[in-house]
Amino acid sequence: MSPAQFGRESAATGEWKRQGNRFVDRIRRDSSSKPGEGPDDQGRWPVEPGRYRLVVSLACPWAHRSVIVRKLLGLEDAISLAIVDPVRDDRGWRFGLDPSGRDPVLGIEFLSEAYRKTDPSYDGRVTVPAIVDTLSGLVVTNDFPQITLDLSTEWTEYHRPHAPQLIPADRAELDQLMDEIYREVNNGVYRCGFATSQEAYEAAYDVLFARLDVLEERLADRPYLLGDTLSEVDIRLFTTLVRFDAVYHGHFKCNRNKLTEFPNLWAYARRLYQLPGFGETVDFDQIKRHYYLTHDTINPNRIVPKGPDPRAWLP
């Protein structure tokens, strides 16, 4: 697959830009819809346990966030989970891990079927995570930044006892950090990997490592990015860090340093990995097979590296 199939690029500069999210309805406690109905006139769907299906790839860092948050909050019984095959082709994400090659709840072979049912004219890239309404088969949202926030704020009635408060009451610092980390780290590795000019690649590379240097310093005197408490921004950074040495360092040419060469970031990432909900949701095999087998322009021979050794993440 070409970089353009994951977003778009500027022919003039070679800079890669991520495709926007098409489906941005939200599941809200204040929806005027009744259980079993569709969205209200403001695009809000009702919170209703057992109704929605979260479709993810364990390879995808954007989807991985929602898997971690769902588990930390104890929403496994409220929102079901579908996992697609990590190796996608031109037809998009496929339910190839299910014995029948079909999602047992939605009854579809490809996530694109739900996208097209929701919008028959849709011709963009099909992305995960996506939340699908099991009653209608329609995509509620593929707005990955909002999905995890809403799991924290709109589904509180169904959180497990003593679930972590991932969003502090004062969100100013959280929102600033999430924005910086998204632009310069989470999306920054892709801007390196999918750049089509030397200038665009080097600019993205410099921004990425400048931000990692700042984060390395920030973590010198605190266990989490906001201090002593785990928050949403830690989850967002973790899903990039856990893929860094296995994929981004070599495959995306983000090779000034390995994660293991940042003492504070490496200790932080390993600490998160060993917490419930983090390491148990990481699948290095699926991560490596997705990146190395689907990016034909970057890895035309489709060789999947054997390392690094995942035991380094363990105590």
239-281 tens-digit pLDDT: 999 999 999 999 999 999 999 999 999 999 999 999 999 999 9
Residue, of 91 and 212, whose pLDDT is higher: 212
pLDDT at 16: 87
Say which of 60, 115, 248, 268 is annotated catalytic: 60
For 29-69, what is each residue's pLDDT tens digit? 999 998 889 999 999 999 999 999 999 999 999 999 999 99
Q: Could you read off the pLDDT of 145-186 as tens digits, one per residue?
A: 999 999 999 999 999 999 999 999 999 999 999 999 999 999
Question: Are 15-158 and 172-313 equal in CATH topology?
Answer: no
In the residue annotation, 190 being an active-site residue is answered as yes
The reported pLDDT for the residue numbered 24 is 95
pLDDT for 12 equals 67
Annotated binding-site residue? 302 = no
Q: Is 189 annotated as a binding residue?
A: no
Catalytic residue at 60? yes
d(CA 102, CA 95): 5
CATH 1.20.1050.10, domain 172-313, yes or no = yes
Q: What's residue 4's pLDDT?
A: 45
Domain boundaries, the chain: 15-158, 172-313
pLDDT at 235 over 60: yes
Mean pLDDT score, 292-301 = 96
Residue 126 assigned to a binding site: yes
7 pLDDT band, cuts 50/70/90, is: low
Res 9 pLDDT > 70: no
Q: What is the mean pLDDT of residues 284-293?
A: 98
Predicted local distance difference test score (pLDDT) of residue 19: 85
pLDDT tens-digit readout, 67-126 = 999 999 999 999 999 999 999 988 999 999 999 999 999 999 999 999 999 999 999 999
**Residue among 52, 115, 190, 268 flagged as catalytic:** 190
- Please provide the CATH number assigned to the domain covering 15-158: 3.40.30.10
Task: State mean pLDDT over 139-149.
Answer: 98
45 is in an annotated binding site: no
Q: What is the DSSP string of the chain?
A: --GGGTEEE-TTT--EEEPPPS-B-EEETT--PPTT----TTSEEEP-TTSEEEEE-TT-HHHHHHHHHHHHHT-TTTSEEEE--S--BTTB-B-TTSTTSS-TTT--SBHHHHHHHH-TT--S---S-EEEETTT--EEE--HHHHHHHHHHT-GGGSPTT----S-SS-HHHHHHHHHHIIIIITHHHHHHT--SHHHHHHHHHHHHHHHHHHHHHTTS-SBTTBSS--HHHHHHHHHHHHIIIIITTTT---S--GGGSHHHHHHHHHHHTSTTTGGG--HHHHHHHHHHH-TTT-TT-PPP--S-GGGG--
